[in-house]
Amino acid sequence: MTQTLESPVTTGPAARWLTDFEAALSARDIPAAAGMFATPSFWRDLVSFSWNLTTVEDPDGVTDLLENTLDRTDPRGFILAEPEETTDGVTTAWFDFETAVGRGHGLLRLKDEDGQQKAWTMLTTLQELKGHEEPRGLRRPKGAQHGIDRNRQTWAEKRRQEAETLGLTEQPYALIVGGGQGGIALGARLRQLGVPALVIDRHARPGDQWRGRYKSLCLHDPVWYDHLPYLKFPDNWPVFAPKDKIGDWLEFYTQVMEVPYWSATTATTSAYDEGSGTWTVEVERAGEKLTLHPTQLVMATGMSGKPNIPDFPGMDVFTGEQHHSSQHPGPDAYAGKRVVVIGSNNSAFDICGALWEHGADVTMVQRSSTHIVKSDSLMEIGLGDLYSERALAAGVTTEKADLIFASLPYRIMHEFQVPLYEQMAERDKDFYERLEGAGFWHDWGDDGSGLFMKYLRRGSGYYIDVGAAELVANGDVKLAHGEVSHLTEDAVVLADGTSLPADLVVYATGYGSMNGWAADLISQEVADRVGKCWGLGSGTTKDPGPWEGEQRNMWKPTQVEQLWFMGGNLHQSRHYSLYLALQLKARYEGIPTPVYRLQEVHHLR
Amino acid sequence: MTQTLESPVTTGPAARWLTDFEAALSARDIPAAAGMFATPSFWRDLVSFSWNLTTVEDPDGVTDLLENTLDRTDPRGFILAEPEETTDGVTTAWFDFETAVGRGHGLLRLKDEDGQQKAWTMLTTLQELKGHEEPRGLRRPKGAQHGIDRNRQTWAEKRRQEAETLGLTEQPYALIVGGGQGGIALGARLRQLGVPALVIDRHARPGDQWRGRYKSLCLHDPVWYDHLPYLKFPDNWPVFAPKDKIGDWLEFYTQVMEVPYWSATTATTSAYDEGSGTWTVEVERAGEKLTLHPTQLVMATGMSGKPNIPDFPGMDVFTGEQHHSSQHPGPDAYAGKRVVVIGSNNSAFDICGALWEHGADVTMVQRSSTHIVKSDSLMEIGLGDLYSERALAAGVTTEKADLIFASLPYRIMHEFQVPLYEQMAERDKDFYERLEGAGFWHDWGDDGSGLFMKYLRRGSGYYIDVGAAELVANGDVKLAHGEVSHLTEDAVVLADGTSLPADLVVYATGYGSMNGWAADLISQEVADRVGKCWGLGSGTTKDPGPWEGEQRNMWKPTQVEQLWFMGGNLHQSRHYSLYLALQLKARYEGIPTPVYRLQEVHHLR
């Protein structure tokens, strides 16, 4: 049969579903609309209906979402964005739609339920606000101001004027505290959307967040996963960018995207002023004290921003050097030294590997089990369908990959992940046998769902192996187990009495919840109102329930109005910066943004 | 009829032509191959057959090219790269092919001649050398060096080591004198190809070549035409980039592409050393004298690099300020001053406009007629099919546009240009009437072929109007005519005795031929052996014959071995840098590069 007879664009099941769905929505017939969803089913909305990041489940959840949002959202114009495809009984379709205030894009998956094609997953996302479209492509700025104008200001003069006024005589609408990849990506989005925003960061230059880390560090995620908004890495960019190279790129990007950015600036205190409806933020900029009054305060200090520094007895009597992994300068000074690294996740492995390479005598202290995957296996099996040259060749652009990924419901994501990690276990069987033979405590996550779920649930507990695991497997890096009891003048003593002589102790002990930053900057009370950031409430290790459905407090409204959290890896910084920027833009323009199902606080840290 | 019956990919006229052409070439049957070209016809080759940039004409020219190149080129594997298209009797086809040493890409146009489909135009280009493919896409570098290596060098360490050795203890194979867009683009290509190259430039920072120009300057060419290799401007980039923004981009680009670049460095003298087969180049780098010994010397000092500073009597007695347009700082200091601008091309107009906007009393001295087109008209009618959002939407990428443009033979290019400028004349009729009514001497080029032919033939004689022409048309900027007789203490006196009182005189008198740079740096003798750079030998004003067929001395072998000229606008810097880089790479690798039809010298400057 020819394609023409099989699936014309307007008459496939997805096209029909969208037409019927729109008809039900137009008629405000919520039971009819909800009846078009299967059980189970998952509708994930990024801002377009909910002014929130939220997932509802099953017809009941759809009913609740629509009852609360349908009238004001006034959705319409549902139309296939490209031909639908059916594979293994699932029809997948990209679609566009409109709301009262914006334009959206979505991804629908249909399955048969009792002889009817029903929605199994649906992703709806807001892409732009009407009347506030970004100046890109056909709308790009002209640059030169043609014609004659006796009050002409050049681009350089305008930039200089902004630098001399923003944050000084003009207040930013949004203050972004933290200028790593998250703050920069959000700053670039807000610049594009015309929202006056200022990024502040304590380092001397944008990119120093990466430059300052241990010298052998390269990104553990591959280039296809790491693009920033608007400007992709060129096709000669390394798969795993060295930290200094990514640092330089971030610095350049900040300038090219004209992100207002104050380096060498620390926010010291902040408080919300009910009278003015703005935050009062005290900052020190290159030694000078200034007060800012932003309406919106965004903590972009990083989900890996606030070090967990342990408090072991004897840390004060230890006479060697000791520091958190985030402060580790690299291995050069430690040839021939005895180093004890507390921890067995990403940073611990990278630091152990580099130290061993430089001739240090290295012991890793494993306190709990760790999940390890080989970088190549993760790339090929875990990411390759979405983020790779192969994916690009198959038409899966970065933007498409982001939405495909976003369309997989968190509730069932682990089910899709488990088989991938089973493949990796099989592929690298010898490696895991050797690793466990060396006494390493290895796990695949509570439910065997592997690395990405660990990242989303707890943001810790894994290592993407780029070589150092071999050193543990073969005994070059020594392995010890258990909790630290205390430190002596020259050793780390474990709970079982093992004494590990040390010239240097590295605490690769991870990072705390981002609301800790709010405690430091604002108050413990406000931090507690916000609650724990990150995690899904999966009820697995370090991610206590109840089920939240989305990452706690990230990129969406929190219990503290006008306070937001931006963070995550480069992928998340790229993807979610759009949705946070649109939420801020709507507020800046006075567009009503009633939040559907504002998250509750179940944990404080 | 369905498409399937009409033109399957393998049996259209172009597919058949390529098959037959390859058969003739394989059989070394030159008469058969040459007989497949129409009269007239044009085969333009960029490096792939000729190790030159050259165009041969008609079956005789094809015969000559093949007799000299066929055996060693050993071309084969001609295959359509995408389906051919037939419009108005011309079949157009993109194709790929191989040579003994490389892979090529081409564009063929067939026309009917006496009932046979014959080649009317053919472009063949070398895209890469076998065994020396660029590390891009699937071949991109890994970045992180996985595994364990006790001699590991980080990216930052390697970069530092190179900076500490290249040009000092290690000699660059190629020295590129001049670090504007041309030098940077070539430097980026050579870095990709693994050719040790060093770019030197007298300015403090990359991009200062643009930053230092008059402050209202924006690019006169639109963004789609201006991309550099490897990394395109983002889609929020202005259509006409302000000079400081493009300066920042060039600086960033140099760093991201890891182009070895010495700022604040001037080459003072250079001589070829027959013994070593290298150049001896004396440079001053931030005050320190150094000697470099590159094998290849590339002058990338810019086709608009060496100012023509006139030598009018009385310039020494004039007590006001006087400078060449390239030194003009912008209008700020000249409010209320009397300014005389000598010249009536691009820089003259931009400077007059900015001065008038700032309240100066401005007179333009027109010495010869100028061609003016409105920027909008040029964009829409002149460039829109190849370089625009419209072109992109139609699948004409920048790379495709470059090759389409390159495939139009210079010999007949003006015939395609004339109707475009006739459209512009009609569209902006009122404007031209007003302009000529104000006494402005306006022309459309000797043969009515307009701006682009003027650019290719003489590199001068035009203005892309972004507003300032209106000031001349309405008399706000005063217009005087004729040659300058002399200057007095406070005025410019013209040949007809007109005296123009002046506080400032700007010499917008253009730039000399690039071989003048070689005269300064090496010797007049070497500059004369090279001869005039730029121009086609069209026999039109300022482009004396005989016909050269290609731009004189640009991006290709000159009469002085190991001496090259790189230059032109951003489009040319992007496009031709590939072909110059491949010529240098082949020589670096010891691949034989016999040059077909090395150009002769007909003019010295």
pLDDT-derived band of residue A372, with 50, 70 and 90 as boundaries?
very high
Q: Is the pLDDT of residue A200 over 60?
A: yes
Q: Is the pLDDT of residue B278 over 50?
A: yes
The shortest C-alpha distance from A547 to chain B (Å) reads 37
Q: Which of B141, B223, B235 sits opposite A238 (nearest CB)?
A: B141
Q: Is the pLDDT of residue A9 over 60?
A: no
For residue B465, the chain A residue with the least C-alpha distance is: A146
What pLDDT digit, counting tens, does each position of A33-74 carry?
A: 999 999 999 999 999 999 999 999 999 999 999 999 999 999
Q: Which of A138, A236, A359 sits opposite B140 (nearest CB)?
A: A236
Contact residues, chain B, for A138 at CB < 8 Å? 389
Q: Token pair 């109005």 is at which residue? A: A561
For B525, other C-beta atoms within 10 Å of its C-beta total: 11
Contact A318, A489 (CB under 8 A): yes
Q: Which of B135, B242, B252 sits opposite A255 (nearest CB)?
A: B252
At residue B8, the pLDDT reads 41
What pLDDT digit, counting tens, does each position of A234-281 carry?
A: 999 999 999 999 999 999 999 999 999 999 999 999 999 999 999 999
Spatial distance between the Cα atoms of A126 and A133, rounded to a whole number of angstroms:
12
The pLDDT of A366-389, averaged and rounded, is 94
Q: Token pair 């507003």 is at which residue? A: B467
For residue A239, the chain B residue with the least C-alpha distance is: B142
Q: Which of A215, A230, A466 sits opposite B236 (nearest CB)?
A: A230
Question: B244 and A154 in contact by Cβ < 8 A?
Answer: yes
Sequence letter at residue A472: V
Helix (H) or strand (E) holding B482, with range, is: none
Contact residues, chain A, for B219 at CB < 8 Å? 143-144
What pLDDT digit, counting tens, does each position of A98-119 carry?
A: 999 999 999 999 999 999 999 9
For residue A154, the chain B residue with the least C-alpha distance is: B216
The pLDDT of A315-324, averaged and rounded, is 97
Spatial distance between the Cα atoms of A36 and A21, rounded to a whole number of angstroms:
7
Q: Which of B148, B248, B358 sits opposite A353 (nearest CB)?
A: B148
* CA B198 vs CA A35, B160, B329, B568: distances in Å: 68, 15, 30, 20
Helix (H) or strand (E) holding A250, with range, is: helix A243-256
* CA nearest neighbour of A468 among A600, A582, A356, A317: A356
Q: Which of A136, A389, A470 sits opposite B236 (nearest CB)?
A: A136
For residue B219, the chain A residue with the least C-alpha distance is: A144
At residue B1, the pLDDT reads 30
Q: Which of A239, A245, A252 sits opposite B142 (nearest CB)?
A: A239
A128, A136, A145, A146, best to mutate vs chain B, most B CBs in 10 Å: A146
Burial class (CB in 10 A: 0-12, 13-18, 19+), B139: exposed
Spatial distance between the Cα atoms of A572 and B106, rounded to a whole number of angstroms:
41
Burial per residue of A233-265, b for 16 or more beta-carbon CB atoms within 10 angstroms, e otherwise = bbbbbbbbbbbbbbbbbbbbbbbbbbbbbbbbb
At residue A176, the pLDDT reads 98
pLDDT-derived band of residue A152, with 50, 70 and 90 as boundaries?
confident
Contact residues, chain B, for A149 at CB < 8 Å? 357
Spatial distance between the Cα atoms of A108 and A91, rounded to a whole number of angstroms:
8
* CA nearest neighbour of A91 among A49, A132, A120: A120
Contact residues, chain A, for B467 at CB < 8 Å? 146-148
Question: B239 and A143 in contact by Cβ < 8 A?
Answer: yes
Q: Token pair 């606080």 is at which residue? A: A601
Q: What's the mean per-residue pLDDT of chain A?
A: 94
Classify A41 as helix, strand or coil: strand
Contact residues, chain B, for A216 at CB < 8 Å? 152, 154
Classify A467 as helix, strand or coil: coil
* CA nearest neighbour of A582 among A101, A65, A98: A101
Contact B296, B174 (CB under 8 A): yes
A3, A136, A148, best to mutate vs chain B, most B CBs in 10 Å: A148
Q: Enter the tokens of residue B555.
A: 């991006």
Rg, Å, chain A Cα set: 26
Q: Is the pLDDT of residue B5 over 60?
A: no
At residue B449, the pLDDT reads 97
What pLDDT digit, counting tens, does each position of A453-479 carry?
A: 999 999 999 999 988 999 999 999 999
Question: B240 and A143 in contact by Cβ < 8 A?
Answer: yes
Please count the residues of chain B.
Answer: 605
A133, A150, A151, A155, best to mutate vs chain B, most B CBs in 10 Å: A155
Q: Is the pLDDT of residue A126 over 80?
A: yes
Q: Is the pLDDT of residue A4 over 50?
A: no
Instruction: Mention every residue, 6+ apart, whose C-beta is less than 8 A from residue B160.
Output: none
* CA nearest neighbour of B464 among B145, B218, B153: B218
The pLDDT of A276-296, averaged and rounded, is 97
Give the ipTM: 0.91
Question: A144 and B242 in contact by Cβ < 8 A?
Answer: yes
What pLDDT digit, counting tens, does each position of B141-160 carry?
A: 988 777 777 777 889 999 99
What pLDDT digit, counting tens, does each position of B313-337 carry?
A: 999 999 999 999 988 988 989 999 9
Contact residues, chain B, for A476 at CB < 8 Å? 148
More confident residue, B584 or A8: B584
The CA angle B498-B500-B502, to the nearest 5 degrees, is 165
Question: From the DSSP assignment, how many helices (H) and strands (E) are in chain B?
Answer: 20, 25
Spatial distance between the Cα atoms of A139 and B71, rounded to a whole number of angstroms:
52
* CA A32 vs CA B135, B192, B554: distances in Å: 55, 59, 70
Question: A143 and B356 in contact by Cβ < 8 A?
Answer: no
Question: B248 and A255 in contact by Cβ < 8 A?
Answer: yes
Q: Is the pLDDT of residue B2 over 60?
A: no
Q: Is the pLDDT of residue B390 over 80?
A: yes
Q: Which of B134, B157, B216 sits opposite A236 (nearest CB)?
A: B134
Q: Enter the tokens of residue A177.
A: 């505290």
Sequence letter at residue B36: M
Prior bond to B544 cis, omega within 30? no
What pLDDT digit, counting tens, does each position of A509-522 carry?
A: 998 889 999 999 99
Spatial distance between the Cα atoms of B187 and B196, rounded to a whole number of angstroms:
9
What pLDDT digit, counting tens, does each position of B12-53 carry?
A: 999 999 999 999 999 999 999 999 999 999 999 999 999 999
Number of A to B CB contacts under 8 A, please give it. Answer: 166
Q: What is the pTM of this model?
A: 0.93
The shortest C-alpha distance from B69 to chain A (Å) reads 33
Spatial distance between the Cα atoms of B580 and B188, rounded to a whole number of angstroms:
12
Question: Quick one: CA dihedral B229, B234, B235, B240, positive or negative?
Answer: negative
Contact residues, chain B, for A242 at CB < 8 Å? 143-144, 154-156
B146, B358, B375, B570, best to mutate vs chain A, most A CBs in 10 Å: B146
Q: What's the mean per-residue pLDDT of chain B?
A: 94
